[in-house]
Structure 1
Amino acid sequence: MLPSSAESPALVPLTRRPAFLAFWAGQGVSQLGAQLGQLALPVLAVSLLGANEMDLGVLNAASMAAFLVVGLPAGAWVDRWLKRRTMIRADLVRMCAMLAVPLLWWAGALQMWHLFVVAGVVGLATVFFDVSYQSYIPVLVDRPLVADANGKLEATAQVARLGGPALGGFVLTLVSAPFLFAAEAAGYLVSALCLLRVRDAEAKPERTEGSSLPREILEGASFVARHPLIRRVVLSTAIGNLFSSITYVLMPLVILRELGLGPAGLGTMLSIGSVGGVLGALAAPRIAARLGEGPLLPLGLMVGGSAVVLFPLALAAGPGLLALGLLSVGEFAMSFGIIVFNVMQVSMRQRVCPPRLLGRMNASIRCLVWGVMPIGSLLGGWLGERLGIAPTLWVGIAGQLLACVPVAAGPFFRLRKLPDTEGE
């Protein structure tokens, strides 16, 4: 049992911990680079390579497929490895993959299938990085500070999402989209260098005699399936991600082609939406103190699911500032609700899971909740071509509202405080 912060001088604030500060700085720069690349990818695909609905579906699916294909074994492997070293290697792989895009473009050889391959490689490295990242926070900071660390990291990520798209939209008025891929590669390099400076007490886990990869995977998946609160969170998140993928795979076409708002419009929408994410990350602890931690999970999903109703309304409004305003308000409210939900549920998962199962627990959840996203992306592209963009958006919205049901029907509204006791 950890002592309270009043009893232990070791629990100094995170802002006075050099290891956390180095990790925090690296992730901030990496997130900014990733946002530049996230804007560049659909702009490059639609504007320079003429991508259609199905092309965008395949591109999004390629970027997320690794979570479905290797998500489960990745968790077992990460639990066997040093997590900081794994993140450094993943950053270097992502850097090299991103640099391939401007090089191919400069050589005049860039084609759509190249983007599929790059997205797939980056997605594979991201699986290992993200599983290690979520499992590393309880290693880097004391357990009572996990929620604070997650809040700071999530707020920084949202600040990057705020400034990155707007900066990217401005840069795209000066240079071509491939140059933004070089900026994303630089972000991954900075992240790797900062991780090299982090000092921690992580020791390589000892293998249990007689253990095997399938048995270790099953142990992590069983923990997720047995925990009544995590099980509901995973079901809601999986449903929400499936249907949000249907919606978001078509948004570049809505903004760039149907509404003609250009890269600047796409960047503006994402940046304004990220303001909601920043406020959600910062406000989550304060709202939890007033309303309780448990109610924030269903309430966050309800706010986020309801907000996306504005997207098809913006499409119906036609080109102009009204459409951009509707898109931006919808993205703002959606980001606020989803980030509040995520801060609470991720912190709960990290607190209740035994350290030896963290990698497998996170990988099992990522495999389920992110593994549905390539399916949703392909389905969104297919439905977009056959039903049209507006009807497909409404399908996605209906599913996101349905995602509220598992957590709303559970005990969360009655839980003033989410559990924070480690247990099997």
Structure 2
Amino acid sequence: MTGQTASVAGSSVSLMVAPVLAVTQLDATTSEVAWLTFAGQLPPALLALHAGALADRSPKQKQMIAGDLVSAGAVATLPAAAALGELTLMQLMTVTVVQSAAKVLHDAAAISFLPSLVDRALVQRSNSRVGALFAVAATAGSHLGAALTALLDPARALLADVGSYLISASCTARIQSPPADEAAGGKRHLHREISAGLRYVHRDTRLATLTLVNASTSFALALLNTLWALYLLRTLAMSPTAFGVTLGIGTLGAVVGAWSAPSLARRFGPGPMMLTALALTPLTQIPVLLASPGLAWQVGIGAALVGQLACASAVGTTQRSIRQVVTNSDMQGRMQAASTWLTSSSRPLAALLAGALGTWLGVRPTLGIGACLLLIPLAVFARSSLRALREMPDPTPRPTRKGELAAPPPTPAPQGGPSVPRPVHTDEESHERAGKGDAP
């Protein structure tokens, strides 16, 4: 928890500082901002499945530490180049690609590690507390990024992210790994394991639905996030400090959403709660689309961001818990990877589309299109049986023998709603760190 919290805080510094660096110091155009976002979103689409399979076959701690150290080394080159007066947009894009690839490696192991550290009956509560803590860390990181940018400059502010990766690696090395996390021996075929993971998701109705919801949400949010910094910094004339503060205040919504998700799920049912949150998300974009320069609108945008991230966090922690409790321990990494791969594959396309539409139609109309796209995941979820799910699934999946994908027994129909089939094959997950809904 300590290491991951430090890493989230550091990543939030970069999340706030990198676009400021590109727009204010490297004079990035609309299309260049879109290409920068595209570069960061490409590695998850290409590497997620392999990273998930590796997480299931090798000690997760080593994979997490390797990702942290590679990220620290890559980000450290940016302030070094800036100090020498040699920083370019191409270097920023290259570092973004390397850092994103290392993050895929790290997160595939980190998310699938949690169910091995707590009893499965406590997974939802654990995800809720982890999500709330990460949201606080993200808020602190955004404020820290704004402060460091004002006191130093954007490039040197990135040193905070370098330090956070080193803290994360150090803490991860001290975790006493459960025996179940150790890799099984014998000859194994990576591509066969990847295929088994994809089948595991495809054959489960709930996970297939949640994956489609996540992918469509991810596409819409990626389109919005591509032009978010450009819109606030240029169209609405926000200062870098105000931009960071707005992100920081908005991220507090993720704390509320994550912390309240278990109680809301118990009171209203996981299905109705997620359906309501998905319905509210498009409405939170209205103040952003109507905004004009000025302090009052900056406050309104911050409030809208609070609502958006509260909904995203409540949905994220709940559906993450559903996936984890119904997935066998030897499939956790591939379950995560299948979701990450599908949702991440949509983001580079959304970034390119945002750049094209932003150049052709303008930034504000493009953001309006992104807001309308948020209606798609709502429609997908509303048409599924998950909308009436009144209780969390049985947290005791049946173990499988190596190489098998046996179907667990059916789950009884939940009280107050229709029967939702027990996973026949499960595989999915997302590590939605605060702020991006990266979903989602």
Q: TM-score, normalised by structure 2?
A: 0.88
Distance across 2 between alignment mates of 1:310 and 1:87: 39
1:68 to 42, 45, 57: 45
Q: Which residue of 2 aligns with 1:283?
A: 260
The one-letter code sitting in structure 1 at the alignment partner of 2:270 is E
Aligned-pair RMSD on alpha carbons? Answer: 1.3
Q: Which residue of 1 aligns with 2:366?
A: 392
Q: Which residue of 1 aligns with 2:314?
A: 340
1:80 to 44, 51, 57: 57
Q: Does 1:357 align with 2:335?
A: no
1:228 to 205, 209, 213: 205
Once the two structures are TM-superposed, the CA of residue 208 in structure 1 deviates from its matched residue by 6.0
2:382 to 399, 408, 415: 408
The one-letter code sitting in structure 2 at the alignment partner of 1:415 is L
Cα–Cα, structure 1 residues 406 and 208, in superposed 2: closer, same or farther, change >3 Å? farther
Q: Which residue of 1 aligns with 2:182?
A: 204
Q: Does 1:33 align with 2:10?
A: yes
The one-letter code sitting in structure 1 at the alignment partner of 2:266 is A
Distance across 2 between alignment mates of 1:172 and 1:206: 47
Q: Which residue of 1 aligns with 2:401?
A: none
Instruction: Give the SS at the match of 2:340.
Output: helix
Q: Is the CA contact 1:224–1:361 (under 8 Å) kept in the aligned structure 2?
A: yes
Distance across 2 between alignment mates of 1:418 and 1:152: 17
2:97 to 120, 124, 135: 120
Structure 1: segments with no counterpart, 5+ residues? 1-23
Q: Which residue of 2 aligns with 1:10?
A: none
Once the two structures are TM-superposed, the CA of residue 118 in structure 1 deviates from its matched residue by 0.3
Q: Which moved more, 1:93-102 or 1:371-380?
A: 371-380
Q: Which residue of 1 aligns with 2:433?
A: none
Q: Does 1:172 align with 2:149?
A: yes
Q: Is the CA contact 1:313–1:326 (under 8 Å) kept in the aligned structure 2?
A: no
Q: Which moved more, 1:414-423 or 1:53-62?
A: 414-423
Cα displacement string for residues 259-295 of structure 1 (whole angstroms, at most 9, x for unaligned residues): 1111122112211211111000111111112111222
Q: Which residue of 2 aligns with 1:55?
A: 32
Distance across 1 between alignment mates of 2:255 and 2:31: 32
The one-letter code sitting in structure 1 at the alignment partner of 2:51 is A
Q: Is the CA contact 1:161–1:270 (under 8 Å) kept in the aligned structure 2?
A: no
Q: Is the CA contact 1:293–1:416 (under 8 Å) kept in the aligned structure 2?
A: yes
Q: Which residue of 1 aligns with 2:430?
A: none
Instruction: Give the SS at the match of 2:384.
Output: coil
Once the two structures are TM-superposed, the CA of residue 155 in structure 1 deviates from its matched residue by 0.8
Instruction: Give the SS at the match of 2:150.
Output: coil
The one-letter code sitting in structure 1 at the alignment partner of 2:205 is P
Distance across 1 between alignment mates of 2:155 and 2:391: 47
Q: How many pairs were matched up?
A: 397
Distance across 2 between alignment mates of 1:413 and 1:74: 31
Structure 2: segments with no counterpart, 5+ residues? 398-407, 409-424, 426-440
Cα displacement string for residues 92-149 of structure 1 (whole angstroms, at most 9, x for unaligned residues): 1111011010001111110000011000001001111111011100112221222222
Q: Which moved more, 1:185-194 or 1:243-252?
A: 243-252
Distance across 1 between alignment mates of 2:116 and 2:374: 34
Q: Which residue of 2 aligns with 1:17?
A: none
Distance across 2 between alignment mates of 1:285 and 1:148: 7
Q: Which residue of 2 aligns with 1:91?
A: 68
Q: Does 1:330 align with 2:304?
A: yes
Distance across 2 between alignment mates of 1:292 and 1:30: 32
Distance across 2 between alignment mates of 1:77 and 1:161: 28
2:229 to 246, 249, 252: 252
Identical-residue share of aligned pairs (%): 31
Cα displacement string for residues 148-172 of structure 1 (whole angstroms, at most 9, x for unaligned residues): 2211211111002222212322222
The one-letter code sitting in structure 2 at the alignment partner of 1:205 is A
Instruction: Give the SS at the match of 1:295.
Output: helix
Q: Does 1:151 align with 2:133?
A: no
Distance across 1 between alignment mates of 2:265 and 2:247: 26
The one-letter code sitting in structure 2 at the alignment partner of 1:204 is E
Cα displacement string for residues 190-238 of structure 1 (whole angstroms, at most 9, x for unaligned residues): 01111111112244322565x4222111110111111111111111111
Q: Is the CA contact 2:231–2:364 (under 8 Å) kept in the aligned structure 1?
A: no
Q: Which moved more, 1:254-263 or 1:111-120?
A: 254-263
